[in-house]
């Protein structure tokens, strides 16, 4: 069994192999060994996590971990069209109402995810046949859903993943029923409607895969920035940019690209949130101790690049424990070992990733 020191050194040595330019600051960060019953390094900080309804309902450990470490939650599901609108006529709020009740009972806030997304759309929306029908439905949905949680959900991912997976040009917008029926104007329509329904809510545009070195990721950053600049130039209400942060453990972070991106967001008066952080570890070495440090080092590199351009408003992880995560759905490990992408392991023990997140939030109480 490697000693803790040997584990850290092994991991830091391996780090270079995974595009981790400078993991040394991590060494110091991890010097202190995490005792299982150690006080939460995240408590009181602007940290939150995505929750799932089943563990929130039936797993006391899950509820306890969320209550212990988080100041905010977001539904991994619950506020998506697929969840809320089983039919054109119906609005079903069971899931977000339960999430809101849990948040309120634990002195936390609930983030809203999401009002306009190509994904998780119920089949009946394929029957939306005209621009007027699309506008009526989109505006009506935002009025109803934001209206229900006005003043209680203080930050909304109004727009999610509007940039195509691999944009051919800076002006590309992801295909969706809204894009098809209303064109790019649907984005401004949604944001203006959101601002009218809840003038105090933080309106966020959320995106993924803008962090890494490589042509596709550079083109995604450029297309995302083009859209944000255009919305700001036309005085469309927009308060923040959400970087999902589903980090690939084996891909290098484009430090200059990310820092320049967040600096431009800041220059436009936009806050920067990390909204869905986790580290996809399917290509990282097997031994959990070593892998946990590489996961933490990747997050360190990303958050350091984000902060180089703008303060980080808050950090949410897409889940809190390795026991409940979407990662194996698409990134199962070939060695059969469980993925370890989140701040707590499957036994709810604090991992190095939690300390890294705390490190970047400490100066943002």
Task: Out of 172, 209, 211, 276, name the contact with ligand G3I by CB under 6 A.
Answer: 276
Nearer to ligand G3I, 34 or 120 (CB): 120
Q: Is 121 in the site for ligand G3I (CB under 6 A)?
A: no
Q: State the nearest-atom distance from the C-beta of 83 to ligand G3I, in Å.
A: 8
Q: State the nearest-atom distance from the C-beta of 80 to ligand G3I, in Å.
A: 5
Task: Out of 326, 340, 354, 358, name the contact with ligand G3I by CB under 6 A.
Answer: 326
Q: Which of 256, 245, 243 is nearest to 213 (CA)?
A: 256
| CB half-sphere exposure, 202, CA atoms < 13 A | 20
Q: Is 76 in the site for ligand G3I (CB under 6 A)?
A: yes
Q: Is 304 in the site for ligand G3I (CB under 6 A)?
A: no
Nearer to ligand G3I, 7 or 95 (CB): 95
Q: State the nearest-atom distance from the C-beta of 160 to ligand G3I, in Å.
A: 6
Buried-exposed string 140-158: b where 16+ CB fall within 10 A, e elsewhere: ebbeebbebbeeebbbbbb
Q: Is 119 in the site for ligand G3I (CB under 6 A)?
A: yes
The token duo for 199 is 């003038």
**Residue nearest ligand G3I, Cβ-based:** 326
φ, ψ dihedrals at 7, nearest 5°: -60, -50
Binding window for ligand G3I (CB under 6 A); candidates: 73-81, 177-185, 222-230, 266-274: 73-81
Which helix (H) or strand (E) covers residue 73, if one does?
strand 72-75
Buried-exposed string 108-120: b where 16+ CB fall within 10 A, e elsewhere: bbbbbbbbbbbee
Q: State the nearest-atom distance from the C-beta of 252 to ligand G3I, in Å.
A: 21
Considering only residues 128 to 167 of the shown chain, the ones binding ligand G3I according to CB under 6 A are 160
Any idea what DSSP says for residue 362? G
The token duo for 169 is 């040009």
Q: Is 77 in the site for ligand G3I (CB under 6 A)?
A: yes
The token duo for 303 is 């958050």
Q: Is 268 in the site for ligand G3I (CB under 6 A)?
A: no
Nearer to ligand G3I, 9 or 120 (CB): 120
Nearer to ligand G3I, 27 or 338 (CB): 338
- The answer for residues whose C-beta is within 8 angstroms of residue 295's C-beta and 6 or more apart is 249, 279, 281, 284, 340, 341, 351, 352, 353
Cβ atoms of residues 131 and 184 within 8 Å:
no
Considering only residues 183 to 222 of the shown chain, the ones binding ligand G3I according to CB under 6 A are 208
Bond preceding residue 198 cis, omega within 30 of 0: no
230 exposure class (CB count in 10 Å sphere: 0-12, 13-18, 19+): middle
- The answer for residues whose C-beta is within 8 angstroms of residue 330's C-beta and 6 or more apart is none
Length of the chain: 365
Nearer to ligand G3I, 41 or 55 (CB): 55
Q: Is 120 in the site for ligand G3I (CB under 6 A)?
A: yes
Classify residue 20 as left (phi > 0), alpha (psi -120 to 50) or beta. Answer: beta
Binding window for ligand G3I (CB under 6 A); candidates: 76-84, 217-225, 249-257, 336-344: 76-84
Nearer to ligand G3I, 80 or 248 (CB): 80
Q: Is 80 in the site for ligand G3I (CB under 6 A)?
A: yes
Q: State the nearest-atom distance from the C-beta of 53 to ligand G3I, in Å.
A: 8
> Which residues of the shown chain bind ligand G3I in the complex (CB under 6 A)?
76-77, 80, 119-120, 160, 208, 244, 276, 326
């Amino acid at each position: 069994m490697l000693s803790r020191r040997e584990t850290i050194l092994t991991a830091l040595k391996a780090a270079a192999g995974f595009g981790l330019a400078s993991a040394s600051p991590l060494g110091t960060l991890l010097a202190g060994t995490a005792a299982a019953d150690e006080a939460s390094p995240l408590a009181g900080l602007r940290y939150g996590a995505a929750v799932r309804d089943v563990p929130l309902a039936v797993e006391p450990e899950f509820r306890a971990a969320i209550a212990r470490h988080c100041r905010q939650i977001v539904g991994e599901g619950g506020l998506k069209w697929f969840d809320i609108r089983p039919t054109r006529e119906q609005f079903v709020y069971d899931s977000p109402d339960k999430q809101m009740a849990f948040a309120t009972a634990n002195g936390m806030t609930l983030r809203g995810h999401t009002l306009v997304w190509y994904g998780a759309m119920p089949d009946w929306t394929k029957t939306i046949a005209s621009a007027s029908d699309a506008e009526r439905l989109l505006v009506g949905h935002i009025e109803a859903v934001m209206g229900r949680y006005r003043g209680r959900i203080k930050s909304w991912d109004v727009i999610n993943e509007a940039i195509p997976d691999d944009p051919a040009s800076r002006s590309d917008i992801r295909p969706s029923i809204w894009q098809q029926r209303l064109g790019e104007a649907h984005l401004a329509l949604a944001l203006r409607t959101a601002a009218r329904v809840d003038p105090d809510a933080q309106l966020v545009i959320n995106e993924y895969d803008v962090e890494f070195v490589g042509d596709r990721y550079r083109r995604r950053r450029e297309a995302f920035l083009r859209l944000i600049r255009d919305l700001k130039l036309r005085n469309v209400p927009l308060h923040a940019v959400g970087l999902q942060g589903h980090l690939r453990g084996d891909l290098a972070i484009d430090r200059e690209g990310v820092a320049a991106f967040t600096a431009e967001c800041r220059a436009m008066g936009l806050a920067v949130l990390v909204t869905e952080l986790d580290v996809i570890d399917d290509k990282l070495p097997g031994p959990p101790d070593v892998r946990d440090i590489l996961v933490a080092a990747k997050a360190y590199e990303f958050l350091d690049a984000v902060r180089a351009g703008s303060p980080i408003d808050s950090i949410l992880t897409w889940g809190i424990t390795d026991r409940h995560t979407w990662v194996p759905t698409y990134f199962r490990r070939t060695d059969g070992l469980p993925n370890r992408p989140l701040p707590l392991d499957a036994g709810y023990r604090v991992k190095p990733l939690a300390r890294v997140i705390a490190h970047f939030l400490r100066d943002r109480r």
